Amino acid sequence: MFNVAVLKMKDIVKFLIIVMLIVLLISLSVKYLSVKGDKTTSGNNINHQISEKISQIWQKSLTGILDQTIPVMIDVQKDNDNVNEEKKENLHEKILKSEISSIGMVEEASVETESNSETEETKTDTQNEEQNTQNNEISQNQESAEEKTQLAQTGLPTEVVTNNPITESFNIQYGNVKIKNQTSYNLTEDMLKPDITIENKNIILFHTHSCESYTSSDLYPYTPTGNFRTTDLNFTVTRVGTELDTQLKNYGLSVTHDTSYHDYPSYNGSYTNSLKTVENILQTYKADIIIDLHRDAIGSREDYAPTVKIGDDYAAQLMFVIGTNDGGLYHPNWNQNLKFAVMLQQKAEEMYPGLFKPLMLTTSRYNQHTGKFASIIEVGATGNTLEQCLNSMKYLARVMSEVLK
């Protein structure tokens, strides 16, 4: 609220006349005194003092008149100042409250973010711990299993324990070795008698079908990338080859193991690819014993798992596949290959009866012309687990070490 002074016209006229009379009177007085003061030096001082006195009186009189005439101006100014101060204080208070509120919201958001972050970190840590625990358990189980397969014992009870077996078929038997002859050759005793001398005992291991895998298990779980196939070679027949490599070296034998992909990215041309691999190895590593390690390709029977129990171990059964030149391809070594297979299987039947299924003699060559004692050994089938196949390598290596003494 503002106070407003109402001034009458008569009062204003009176005020102006009084002011004019005062001004005129002062002017005449000053003029008279200044004339008299010129006669002496002291007059100047008196004139100066009188002028100052009159100026002070005039200033006080005019100020007083104005204050009396318009007394509201001071109050108005004071009110305005007070209002401005109040506004400033209110504005500062509002800004401060806003900042405090904003800081509170930021702190709450920060606390919530930190809480959420801690929760997510806790979840992530928990998941990582669970995954690490699972991986450690699998690793420990694998290490434990590998520790048990260091060296094979002899004189253990052996029994074929295959569930849902496929009836064995063979048409020739030489001693304790059964043979399924699929060729046109009439196998004689001279052709089967293992009267060979193995001078070069270097061994080459490779895999034409590197991605062939087995039934997933708790000890060796994996995700297939095909029908009992995976590109993770830690879970394929290639891993079985690594085990055989290790076991053979435990007996002091010289081995080179190739783990190249030959059936990936294309399955077609696998034998062409593996032939190049073997020929390249032979340029620098001379060997007569060349083994192409496979898994039995009976894919129509997922439950087929040819198994032999040796002591307390369950091991996948093995099978020799020996090629010939009966299909028309150059293969002068096939009879030597057959004799080597018969020699090895004879010893296996003595030490671990049932470790091998009947030997298969075929019309195809299977790159076995590359060595004097070349062969395919099929380890288990699709129904076997990887640990069963690793167990087999322990006993195969022991048999080979006896033959190659």
The answer to the question of residue 81 being in a domain is: no
Total structural domains in the chain? 2
Taking Cα atoms as reference points, which of 275, 284, 298 lies closest to residue 367?
Answer: 275
Percent of the chain with pLDDT over 90: 60
Model pTM score:
0.66
Query: Letter for the amino acid at 36?
Result: K
The answer to the question of residue 103 being in a domain is: no
The answer to the question of residue 143 being in a domain is: no
Contact assessment for residue 381 and residue 319, using Cβ atoms and an 8 Å cutoff: no
Contact assessment for residue 67 and residue 74, using Cβ atoms and an 8 Å cutoff: yes
Output the domain CATH number for residue 301: 3.40.630.40
Q: Report the DSSP pairing between strands 318-322 and 373-379.
A: antiparallel
Q: Which structural domain range is residue 53 located in? A: 9-70
The answer to the question of residue 243 being in a domain is: yes
| Mean per-residue pLDDT of the chain | 80
Coil, helix or strand at residue 262 = coil
Cβ partners under 8 Å of residue 234, min gap 6: 222
Cis peptide before 221 (omega within 30 of 0): no
Given a cut of 50, whether residue 102 has pLDDT beyond it is no
Q: How far is CA 3 from CA 8, 71, 75, in A?
A: 17, 10, 8
The answer to the question of residue 112 being in a domain is: no
pLDDT in tens, 168-216: 899 999 999 999 999 999 999 999 999 999 999 999 999 999 999 999 9
Number of H helices and E strands in the chain, helices first, is 8, 11
Q: Which residue has the higher pLDDT, 292 or 62?
A: 292
CA dist., res. 263 & res. 241, Å (int): 16
State the pLDDT at residue 273: 98
- Out of 70, 95, 120, pick the residue that ends a domain: 70
Given a cut of 80, whether residue 54 has pLDDT beyond it is no
Q: Which residue has the higher pLDDT, 161 or 110?
A: 161
Based on the domain organization, do 36 and 180 belong to the same domain? Answer: no
Given a cut of 70, whether residue 1 has pLDDT beyond it is no
Q: Phi/psi of residue 13, each to 5°? A: -65, -45
DSSP per-residue letters across 339-362: HHHHHHHHHHHHHSTTSBPPEEE-
State the pLDDT at residue 56: 57
Contact assessment for residue 162 and residue 317, using Cβ atoms and an 8 Å cutoff: yes
Percent of the chain with pLDDT over 70: 66
Contact assessment for residue 308 and residue 388, using Cβ atoms and an 8 Å cutoff: no
Mean pLDDT over 24-39 rounds to: 61
State the pLDDT at residue 4: 40
pLDDT in tens, 256-307: 999 999 999 999 999 999 999 999 999 999 999 999 999 998 766 888 999 9
Based on the domain organization, do 266 and 164 belong to the same domain? Answer: yes
The answer to the question of residue 281 being in a domain is: yes
Contact assessment for residue 320 and residue 376, using Cβ atoms and an 8 Å cutoff: yes
pLDDT in tens, 215-244: 999 999 999 998 999 999 999 999 999 999
DSSP element (H, E) containing 172: strand 172-174
The answer to the question of residue 259 being in a domain is: yes
Instruction: Look up tokens 């008569």; give the residue.
Output: 10
Mean pLDDT over 12-27 rounds to: 77
State the pLDDT at residue 72: 40
Based on the domain organization, do 166 and 298 belong to the same domain? Answer: yes
Based on the domain organization, do 54 and 173 belong to the same domain? Answer: no
Contact assessment for residue 301 and residue 319, using Cβ atoms and an 8 Å cutoff: no
The answer to the question of residue 366 being in a domain is: yes
State the pLDDT at residue 71: 44
Based on the domain organization, do 65 and 194 belong to the same domain? Answer: no
- Out of 70, 88, 116, pick the residue that ends a domain: 70
Greatest mean pLDDT among 36-45, 81-90, 318-327 lies in 318-327
- Out of 70, 93, 120, pick the residue that ends a domain: 70
